[in-house]
Structure 1
């Protein structure tokens, strides 16, 4: 059983490998090995996420009514609740998600033309850059949380508010609680970031497939010498095969996008809803943390991290729609006028089908686009002003 995942995209390869290590990407095995991996999944979840949810939910219940303390406890709790939903979604729909990963990888690695290889390389480079930035923000946030607690003026401060069934302000219980929180936050954040990168990379690969279709359409008559604006019979047979391949690939890509929508629409909606609240709550915490520079810096990075998380989804969804629209334009950018009526009719069918653009939604309510990203930021700011006003009034 290999724990290393092979894929044309480096970020997807690393993320899937890490998810396999953390119990969220089961290998294709049966029997006792699969049962052992299932136990591994449950154990990792409880140690990394489950216990943190319990201790923070208990703390939230105890301090209920105090806006400042509630916001300090709620933003990580909300993140972990969404994290749990995304874990459940990935485990339940693992077979379907694996099918998408395999299909995209097979299409991208079989490209042979220079332009197609450049398109795949460009897509991989963009995904890697965004993934590294997202991972950097995540790692920096967790490091600053741990460092801020260790250098707090008040003794025995933990990175996050939480309730423990023992006195966590005295040694050695404090060190145990501090280590538990630091490790849980680090591992949970890495798992969450890996799942987001997987979704982002899959969307990016789908838009890359649309880009490859556009390139193939423009090159339907490549390496052909057209005389008197007419194709020879042999040339037309080649064009017919190429056009049929483009039609089949376009249909398959649309089906892959639809399957991607079915696999992640609910978890994306939950992510957007909670991100709206977290961005708001984090803004409130920034107002309260004026006396501690490291705390302010950690909350600033967390705010940037959450904004970047939403942006990645919305940007890739927006680019997917644009690339699918570009296919319809590319359908006109080849010498179709040199073909027979039969080939023109097939091209017309493709042109008509390309009018149907690919879109991803969050729960079927809102489209993944840059306009949605702006709307979420505006809504978060509106809720932030309301919470700030409520705290000032009390």
Structure 2
């Protein structure tokens, strides 16, 4: 970093260095929590077995399509960023590398060393983007699963008491829904243990990188290819925080509805045991869970907006510094 004459090269290396360091740290955090991912899978298997009504099957099918859509969106954005980054050297007048860097071989005067340098950078950026893909896709997918399973639970509870089942059967159905609710809270706790700390790091890093990328687009973008690269990079940076913030807000909203779900069932015509259990259930779900990154920053759309404001502040700081140095 900061070893080149041109400011755009130093700024590019600053962005890459920050992303690389944060990616490695996040990846190690996730590796330490792999055993909890297996627990999440077991809980999801139990919840999938509870899907039986036609409406729940529709929600489950819609959830599957939503998960696929989010995954494809990440794949498209990250692949585009990788292709543009790794092919930028093809459109230069002289021999250059995709990323300005020091290389221990004289690649400017040797075709073999030049190909080795290109191969090294291709493998490095591909590995980093692959790590980013895994790190960034996991949290929104898990929160999507939690939110949609909570919607199915709300629907499941609201149907109790409207068919020809006896009161004892309805009591058992409510008990089963309470066990589902416990599974959902367990699923949420496991998820936050896995990505709460990485998300705190991610929110901080994204604000810095977004501001730096905006500077490259506005101040230093010399060619259309450079501007295209930084635009795709900006989209990728937004994808690292917007989906998780959106689903964080959605989870809080859906769990807030869970508190009233039991009163949409036909509780009036049920036994005293059912009604007491319903009141207990309502009290237990009265407190909506707060999703926090590192127990500091809420995982919600308000944080996404705050991140954008912080990125703009960092952009103005770099721009003012550049004017003073000139």
* TM-score, normalising length: structure 1: 0.78
Q: Deviations over 1:135-178 (max 9, x none)?
A: 1111101111122222113x121111222112232322111111
Q: Distance in 1 between matches of 2:134 and 2:33?
A: 16
Q: Distance in 2 between matches of 1:336 and 1:151?
A: 70
**Root mean square deviation of aligned Cα:** 1.8
* Poorly superposed stretches of 4+, deviation over 4 Å: none
1:114 aligns with 2:45: no
For the Cα contact (< 8 Å) 2:262–2:282, is it kept in 1? yes
1:187: how far off? 3.0
Which residue of structure 2 lines up, in the alignment, with residue 183 of structure 1?
A: 123
Match of 2:274 among 327, 333, 343: 343
Q: Sort the Cα spacing of 1:242 and 1:109 in 2 relative to 1 into closer, same or farther, 3 A.
A: closer
Match of 2:23 among 62, 83, 97: 83
Match of 1:391 among 302, 322, 325: 322
Q: How does 1:1-394 map to 2 (within 5 A)?
A: 60=1, 62-63=3-4, 68-153=8-93, 155-170=94-109, 171-224=111-164, 235-394=166-325
For the Cα contact (< 8 Å) 1:320–1:359, is it kept in 2? no
Secondary structure of the residue that 2:166 maps to in structure 1?
helix
Q: Distance in 1 between matches of 2:314 and 2:275?
A: 55
Q: Distance in 2 between matches of 1:191 and 1:75?
A: 16
Q: Sort the Cα spacing of 1:163 and 1:123 in 2 relative to 1 into closer, same or farther, 3 A.
A: same
Higher RCO (CA < 8 A, seq sep 6+): 2
Q: Distance in 2 between matches of 1:87 and 1:223?
A: 50
Q: Which runs of 5+ in 2 are unaligned?
A: none
Q: Sort the Cα spacing of 1:379 and 1:110 in 2 relative to 1 into closer, same or farther, 3 A.
A: same
Q: Distance in 2 between matches of 1:200 and 1:105?
A: 19
Q: Which runs of 5+ in 1 are unaligned?
A: 1-59, 225-233
For the Cα contact (< 8 Å) 1:101–1:202, is it kept in 2? no
For the Cα contact (< 8 Å) 1:144–1:295, is it kept in 2? no
The number of aligned residues is 324
Q: Distance in 2 between matches of 1:369 and 1:164?
A: 42
Q: Distance in 2 between matches of 1:159 and 1:361?
A: 37
Q: Distance in 1 between matches of 2:107 and 2:254?
A: 54
Q: Distance in 2 between matches of 1:151 and 1:212?
A: 52
Which residue of structure 2 lines up, in the alignment, with residue 47 of structure 1?
A: none
Q: Distance in 2 between matches of 1:105 and 1:271?
A: 30
1:110: how far off? 4.5
For the Cα contact (< 8 Å) 2:43–2:183, is it kept in 1? no
* TM-score, normalising length: structure 2: 0.94
Q: Distance in 1 between matches of 2:173 and 2:208?
A: 49
Q: Sort the Cα spacing of 1:333 and 1:363 in 2 relative to 1 into closer, same or farther, 3 A.
A: same
Q: Deviations over 1:269-314 (max 9, x none)?
A: 1111111111111111113443211111011010011012210110
1:327: how far off? 1.0
For the Cα contact (< 8 Å) 1:127–1:201, is it kept in 2? yes
